[in-house]
Amino acid sequence: MEYNEHKPIYLQNVDLMQEKILRGDWSEEERIPSVREMGAMVGVNPNTIVRSYQLLEAQEVIYNKRGLGYFVKEGAVARIKENVKREFIANELPQFKAKLEMLGITKDELLKLL
């Protein structure tokens, strides 16, 4: 995969993992790849991947079963959607709004496009 956004790599990996859960590639209560396996999959340093896992664990999206590895937590899909929505409203929406204003696109025009 290509990493070319402005976000640090561990956060881009968080996005990737969240997408996998939202798409159903990884279902709730299913075991996910280990940190090392994930690193090898995407060609990223395992120490960087650890930060992604820590963040997702803190957000209660995944959890660690001692000796068994990481699993997707029950209710993860709903929590991810909530997080992504919050991020969308905080970061992307204002930029989108500014662009609409700059281009003079009205509410009606936008609604028709949607």
Partner 1 sequence: MIEIKNLSFAYSGTDVLDNISTAFEQGRVYGLLGANGVGKSTLFKLLCGLLTTKRGKIDIDGYSPADRHPGFLSKIFYIPEDFEGPAVSIKNYASGISSFYSKYDENLLHSLLNDFDIDINRKFTSLSLGQRKRAILSIALAMNTEYLLLDEPTNGLDIPAKAEFRKMVAKAMDDNRTIIISTHQVKDVENLLDHIMILDKRCVLLDSSVADIQQQYSFDVTMQRPADALYCEEGLGGYCSISNNTTDEESRINIELLFNYINSKK
Q: How far is the CB of 90 from partner 1 (least distance, A)?
A: 11
Does 107 interact with partner 1 (rule: CB under 8 A)? Answer: no
With CB under 8 A as the contact rule, the residue among 19, 25, 27, 40 that binds partner 1 is 40
CA 114, CA 91: separation in Å to the nearest integer? 20
Which residue number, 13 or 76, has a Cβ lying nearer to partner 1?
Answer: 13
Does 27 interact with partner 1 (rule: CB under 8 A)? Answer: no
Does 43 interact with partner 1 (rule: CB under 8 A)? Answer: yes
Query: Among 53, 42, 73, which residue's Cα sits nearest to residue 11?
Result: 53
With CB under 8 A as the contact rule, the residue among 29, 30, 31, 41 that binds partner 1 is 41
Structural contact between residues 36 and 30, judged by C-beta atoms closer than 8 angstroms: no
